Structure 1
Amino acid sequence: MSTPIGRQPRRLPAWVKVLSAFALVLAVLFAGFRLSLIPGLKDLFGTETRDRSGPALLESIQDLSRYQAATGNFQVVVDLEKDTKFVPDAIRGSRTLYVGAGSVDSYVDLGKVGDGDVTVNEDRTAATLRLPHAALAKPALDPDRSYAVSKERGLFDRLGDLFSDNPNGEQAVQKLAVRHIGEAAKESGLNARAESNTTRMLQGLLHSLGFEKVRVTYGD
């Protein structure tokens, strides 16, 4: 139908155009979600994962003199929330509930024991050993026992995930889990347990070699 002469075509307001574009984006997202619910289409349009990684290369070998005397297993629930000032959480913000499970080793570095730290009597029936105090290794997060319980993200965060290189990234909560596990290990008495186990190990070893008295102390 032609427009009458002298009458300009009606222009839509700018906010209507923005709302229409926003509705189109939502329609595409919900359409993809609904297609995934139709039986058979999931396999037809499903993704396939291939491992094209090359072989692992050995870069270096280090000789270890640490005696791993104890291991502590820990679990922590991380509740990480990110908010934007003056913006509702439904628009911009995120909250992740993550269960992190990991372990921390406690070791005694026998490589630091010098000649003056070991004394033996003339009859070789008594020995005294002075060892460094036990120390904690870095916490190791177990990916098989760690998982996200829930993820809540605002609209802008969800749209940003579509264009992100790592939409399911959990680096922030994983780092928090490792930090909390490390802090818990310091308060757990794990080092004291490691020193006790090291003492029993050395006493049993030296008793088998004929020593009747074995004294083990710890100090810097």
Structure 2
Amino acid sequence: MTTPIRRLPRRIPGWAKAVSAVVLVLAVLFTGVGLSVLPGLKDLFGTETHDRSGPALLQSIQDISRYDAASGNFQVVVDLEKDAKYLPDAIRGTRTLYVGAGTVDAYVDLGKVGERDVTVNDDRTSATLRLPHAALGEPALDPDRSYAVSKQRGLLDRIGDLFSGNPNSEQAVQKLAAKHIGEAAKESALTERAEGNTTDMLRGLLHSLGFKEVKVSYRAA
């Protein structure tokens, strides 16, 4: 009668056990289950932001004589595409869809009002003022309301971003958005609204000083 041969279990090397243990621990740590069971791990492996910027330095002070009488809010969708002449878009080219939101102020520069532009009668009951026409300020983009909807880049552009100091720069679309917002402000009635508000402000001010009749007109700057 033959005795059956009993195979001994294969012994797993110690290094294999160690590697398996490490893999198991990492799997638990970096899965949602592990983070939910041990909520403190989320803070342990989280990132922190440190602001090490230097203090802001005052470079200059400028007196402002203009009266900001109106402000317009604008929004524009910029679709900027740059293509290479002899290469397909998948190799070289970019296309960015950007939503730009910003404001443009309309103001009247009261510093340009001279003595000849103000006429007051002898009993100080009537005044005539000639003011320069309202002008538009520079468009100011709002970073909290401006954002890129989509970005498409060719292979060479992606490689270039890896070695550039400012990857995925949105400077071009931001400038274009500011330009379109400025053009929209020129076509709007923003300056007319500013002149009307300035007129109402000056009439109210002079009436409070005892003037019964106040005439305000606008001239070329």
Q: Report the Cα offset of residue 60 of structure 1.
A: 1.4
Partners of 2:44 and 2:167 in 1: CA distance: 23
Query: What is the aligned partner in structure 1 of residue 175 from structure 2?
Result: 175
Equivalent residue number for residue 188 of structure 1:
188
**In the alignment, what sits opposite 1:94?**
94
Change (3 A) 1:44 1:166: farther
Tell me by how many angstroms 1:86 deviates: 1.9
Structure 1 or 2, whichever has the larger Rg, is 2
For 2:8, the equivalent position in structure 1 comes to none
Matched residue SS, 1:165: coil
Unaligned runs of 5+ in 2: 1-29, 36-41
Matches of 2:50 and 2:62 in 1, distance apart? Answer: 33
How many aligned residue pairs are there?
183
Secondary structure, counterpart of 1:108 in structure 2 = strand
Structure 2 residue 125 is the aligned partner of structure 1 residue 125: yes
What TM-score results when the alignment is normalised by the length of structure 2? 0.78
Q: Aligned pair 1:64/2:70, yes or no? A: no
**Distance across 1 between alignment mates of 2:165 and 2:46:** 19
Q: Which amino acid aligns with 2:160?
A: G
Q: How does 1:1-220 map to 2 (within 5 A)?
A: 39=31, 49-220=49-220
Structure 1 unaligned residues grouped into runs of 5+: 1-37
The residue identity in structure 2 corresponding to 1:97 is L
C-alpha distance 46-152 of structure 1, shift in aligned 2 (>3 A): farther
User: How many Å apart are 1:123 and its aligned residue?
Assistant: 1.5
Identical residues among aligned pairs (%): 79
Letter of the 1:201 counterpart: M
Give the alignment's TM-score, normalised by structure 1. 0.79
